[in-house]
Structure 1
Amino acid sequence: MTAERNLPTLSRPRRPGLASLAVLLILGGALGTTLLVMRADDRISVIRVTQQVGAGRTFPLEAMEEALVADPGGEYAPWSDRDRISKRYARVTVLPGSLLTNAMSAGTGEGLAPGKGRVGLALKPGQVPNELQAGYRVQVIHVPRAGSEQGEADLLSPSALVDSVSTPRMSGSTVMATVIVDSAIAPEVAAYASSGEIAIVDLPGER
């Protein structure tokens, strides 16, 4: 009986380096996926401005939209604050597409944009509209006293912002108001206000 001879088999050379590389690639891919998921979780909803908002004007709700960004540590105004932001004023002109930061807006009594100044007015009945409130837009008008050389009224500021109003306790009393105007005309407004020659007109269409 002929003995069967087994042919020698060729052993495959082991390549531990390739195996290790494959494991590293798998682990690296899994780690990259995990980081992407974690970073996606870190993104926050902030406010993006869709319309130009001039300095000293409020932020309309229709001029804001939601945007997702990586959390930079509280620099941007969160989307959840949009109602509060709509009652604030722009410190500077904000262009469309800008992500709104907390430093871009101010409430009444806060910092002003460059070129703006606050002027205090003591207004008597007939010089101020009823129920004037902070945040209203008004015209500031110089109304000369009767018999003065300047017989015609003069528009000093076409769209001033009311910063604060002190409502009198008694009807017919003087109303104390502070308005924000261009700093170039602030001294003139203050001078006429001190002599009682200032009147303001409410502009409800610009609120």
Structure 2
Amino acid sequence: MATDTSAPTREDRERQRASRGIRSRATSTPNGQQPSPPRRRRPALVAIGVLLIVGGAALAGLLALRLDAREPMIVVDRTIPAGTEITAEMLRTADVAAEGLNLIPVSEADEVLGTYARTTLREGQLLDTTMLQTSSPYPAGSVRVGVPLVAGKVPDGLRDGDEVRLIRVGDSTGSGALLGTGLILGSAEGESGGAFSGEGSGSSATVLVTSQAADAIVNAAGSDQLGMALIRRGVTPEDANLTSGGSVTGESVE
């Protein structure tokens, strides 16, 4: 009987198995495991991430707008001595964030005009309701006079709210005389030096005094015979101890 040469031999079968093993290893991972299929995206998590990003941006924008919510408020345009009646020329406006403060908006400007400064107001200061009062703080029978501040006859560093003695300075033939007590309300600076030190020409101050003492004080100031002595600091017009001549209380400087 003739041999069937078409049937695979043992060597052929081994070569076929070896060939299949090589192909299997070529498509496997280094540790012999088959590669895992690609992961599928989770649409719900992606949507939540997008919402968080958009919501955070919106919140940041809202906070930025809130912080920049500025409104026109009333600002002091010049130094205003305590007790001065407020007029439109003394004020200006500025846009500021005023939430939670007692600042006065421009819409209420009419309510400010005609009121009085409770304390000295400085230029650029934001005006609030605690700085004003509806009635004049000046004591009955008091007047305001302007006097020069002469170096050597007034203390250095005088400022608004200082209570002072007003003295007619004596010469070599006589002693000085107490004209009364007064309260420094404001000043006008001279060409040089401090407005309250008496340095420089033209320095002057507005002083609150009794009407009885006013004439004598103005006369002494006009003849360059007016001197001042500091009694105490931080006095309001309502608390000032105004006298005309006689004895003076509150000798120590506070």
Shorter chain as denominator, the TM-score bin is 0.3 to 0.5
Query: When you count strand as a share of all residues, which structure comes out higher?
Result: 1
User: TM-score if structure 1 supplies the norm length?
Assistant: 0.46
The alignment's TM-score, normalised by the length of structure 2, stands at: 0.39
RCO comparison, higher one (Cα < 8 Å, 6+): 1
